[in-house]
């Protein structure tokens, strides 16, 4: 078993070093989607492996029932996402554009929704924070010099840090057995962007 693991690691390492096409050193951009606005940076760590950092405001389609009855809300989000662009070399060899990291990727999207503020939330509903980790497959393409479009999907896990809702000074909907809620969460995005 150790030999197989060693061979797999060696194979991945050789593949990374054999890549002639690499990700961009650093890309700053802004993106908009159906459910939010984001500002992000992708910084190359090695060859086709980048670290994406992002801050934005979004509606979380898998928000759960902690905001039951709240309607459509927006909340801040902070994201760190290591991404592996696995087909840059093949795209380059086929004469396809790889600028601005135009390629397919796999990633581990780690997002934190802090409880700083939630837009369009009733005063009697308490803001909660959550942390999600979602393995994701996606693609990114560039149009012209600066415009991009991107899509992705995944299924991951979320921890919601619950706090009781207070109405007229009385705690509502409190589950005394736990202050956290663990749940599976789907992830899907389609975004249009501009890179600087």
pLDDT of residue 143: 95
pLDDT exceeds cutoff 90 at 171: no
pLDDT exceeds cutoff 50 at 177: no
The Cα–Cα gap between 178 and 143 comes to: 48
pLDDT of residue 34: 87
The Cα–Cα gap between 174 and 164 comes to: 5
In the numeric block, which tokens belong to residue 192? 């249009």
Percent above pLDDT 70 for the chain: 77
Q: Are 131 and 162 in contact (CB under 8 A)?
A: no
- State the CATH class of domain 25-195: mainly beta
Report residue 7's pLDDT band, with 50, 70 and 90 as the boundaries. low
CB within 8 A of 184, min separation 6: which ones?
155, 156, 157, 158
Q: Are 109 and 133 in contact (CB under 8 A)?
A: yes
- Dump strand ranges (E) for 8-128: 26-33, 36-46, 49-58, 75-85, 103-113
pLDDT of residue 166: 52
pLDDT exceeds cutoff 60 at 5: no
What is the per-residue pLDDT across 67-126, written as a single tens digit (0 to 9) for each? Answer: 666 677 889 999 999 999 999 999 999 999 999 999 999 999 999 999 898 888 777 677
pLDDT of residue 9: 58
The Cα–Cα gap between 84 and 51 comes to: 9
The Cα–Cα gap between 182 and 179 comes to: 10
What residue ranges do the domains of the chain occupy? 25-195
Percent above pLDDT 90 for the chain: 60
- Specify burial of residue 186 (Cβ count, 10 A radius: 0-12, 13-18, 19+): exposed
pLDDT exceeds cutoff 60 at 170: no
Mean pLDDT, the chain, whole residue set: 84
* Stretch (H or E) spanning 118: none
């Amino acid at each position: 078993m150790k030999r197989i693991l060693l061979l797999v690691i060696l194979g991945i390492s050789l593949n990374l070093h054999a890549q002639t096409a690499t990700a961009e050193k650093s890309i700053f951009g802004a993106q908009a989607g159906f459910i939010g606005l984001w500002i992000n940076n992708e910084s190359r760590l090695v060859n086709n492996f980048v670290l994406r950092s992002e801050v934005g405001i979004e509606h979380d389609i898998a928000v759960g029932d902690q905001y039951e009855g709240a309607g459509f809300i927006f909340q801040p989000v902070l994201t760190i996402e290591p991404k592996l662009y696995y087909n840059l070399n093949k795209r380059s060899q086929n004469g396809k554009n790889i600028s601005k990291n135009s390629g397919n990727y796999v990633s581990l999207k780690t997002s934190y929704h802090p409880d700083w503020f939630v837009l369009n939330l009733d005063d009697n509903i308490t803001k909660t924070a959550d942390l999600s980790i979602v393995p994701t497959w996606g693609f990114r393409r560039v149009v012209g010099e600066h415009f991009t479009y991107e899509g992705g999907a995944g299924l991951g896990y979320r921890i919601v840090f619950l706090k009781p809702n207070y109405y007229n000074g009385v705690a509502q909907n409190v589950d005394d057995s736990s202050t956290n809620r663990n749940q599976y969460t789907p992830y899907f995005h389609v975004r249009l962007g501009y890179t600087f």
